[in-house]
Amino acid sequence: MASFKQKTLRFLYPILRKMAKFGKNGTVLNNEQKATPKEPFYAQQVTLNNGKNLDFSTFSGKKILIVNTASNCGYTGQYAELQSLHEKLGDKLAIVAFPSNDFREQEKADDKEIASFCQLNYGVTFPLAEKGVVLKTTEQQQPVFQWLTNSEANGWCDHAPDWNFGKYVIDKKGMLTHYFGPSVSPLDKDFLEALEK
């Protein structure tokens, strides 16, 4: 069940997104030089919030969207948009959410509570990773985010998430093509166009 704060943030989400679109949370980066990874993306694995391992090689031939998430953030309403995207493009696009408490402690819940919150409030059916660290400041950073935020691994991008709901797009060949900041909706025209490329 959503708390009063979560319900309020959900209501305010469209306003917060528009207000932040032109700041750092509206950052958009793309791999214009078509740099190829120095380390293969498909070697990455993650432990899901149910304890099972997910090997990213199972998504070979699909585009992949990696998103760092939190339940008590002004952008939490994007869970509904991500679910909509999953339902429309699930055969072409794999979405994996990475809950994290890195930004102002907006994800204090444990994995079981996070899964329940996402399912009850947003009907989320795409995979949720085990809660972990997405920022580069500690050795505990999730291995997938070590790859996403290190140009020595992915070929070009050193950019860590600006806030909750930073979005990284991997193409069908395992190349990192884009980073979209939190205020860019997964249903925005520019975002959808990037998925089509």
The CATH number covering residue 23 comes to 3.40.30.10
Q: What is the DSSP letter of 28?
A: E
Domain count, the chain: 1
Task: Give me the pLDDT at residue 8, please.
Answer: 73
Q: Structural domain of residue 109, as residue ranges?
A: 4-196
Q: Taking Cα atoms as reference points, which of 154, 120, 131, 144 lies closest to residue 39?
A: 154
Cβ(171)–Cβ(149) below 8 Å: no
- The predicted-structure confidence for 56-115, as pLDDT tens digits, reads as follows 999 999 999 999 999 999 899 999 999 999 999 999 999 999 999 999 999 999 999 999
Residue 67 pairs with which residues in a beta bridge?
97, 167
> What whole-number percentage of the chain has pLDDT above 90?
84
Q: What is the pLDDT of residue 6?
A: 77
Residues 44/147, Cβ–Cβ less than 8 Å = yes
Res. 196: pLDDT tops 80: yes
pLDDT of residue 197: 82
For residue 103, CA distances in Å to 12, 37, 83, 127, 133 come to: 19, 28, 23, 21, 10
List the structure tokens of 90: 């699930």
Going by C-alpha positions, the residue among 62, 159, 50, 140 that lies closest to residue 101 is 140
Q: Which of 73, 82, 128, 148 is catalytic?
A: 73
Q: Is there a catalytic annotation at residue 73? A: yes
Residue 22 has pLDDT above 70, yes or no: no
